[in-house]
Amino acid sequence: MRQQQDKNTTAKLVEKIKELPAIRLQEVLDFVDFLRSRSQMDDDPILDVVGCLSGKPLTGQEIEDVLYGRDPA
């Protein structure tokens, strides 16, 4: 069922693109590139390992101490 919907959507898209004036085709290409880059940003590899991290969470103060070199002694 999903494949048929995809084919229908693709066919509709192709037909609508064929009806566009040539000057608008570059806009379509730009938009498709934008959509593809946005989906690539959603595939952030750091998100794949977040659930695998172990240890206790750090407080805001502990993070600042590490970042700014303060020894929490």
Q: Would 39 be classed as within a structural domain?
A: yes
For the chain, helix (H) and strand (E) counts, in that order, are 4, 0
Q: Is the dihedral of CA 13, 19, 22, 24 positive or negative?
A: negative
Per-residue pLDDT of the chain (73 residues; tens, 9 = 90+): 677 788 899 999 999 999 999 999 999 999 999 988 877 666 666 666 666 777 787 888 888 888 888 765 5
Q: Would 31 be classed as within a structural domain?
A: yes
Q: How far apart are CA 68 and CA 44, in angstroms?
A: 27
The pTM (predicted TM-score) of the whole model is 0.47
pLDDT of residue 73: 56
The total domain count for the chain is 1
Domain extent, residue 63, equals 2-68
Q: Would 63 be classed as within a structural domain?
A: yes
Find the length of the chain: 73
Give the tokens for residue 17.
């693109």
Q: Would 50 be classed as within a structural domain?
A: yes
pLDDT of residue 11: 94
In one-letter notation, the amino acid at residue 38 is R
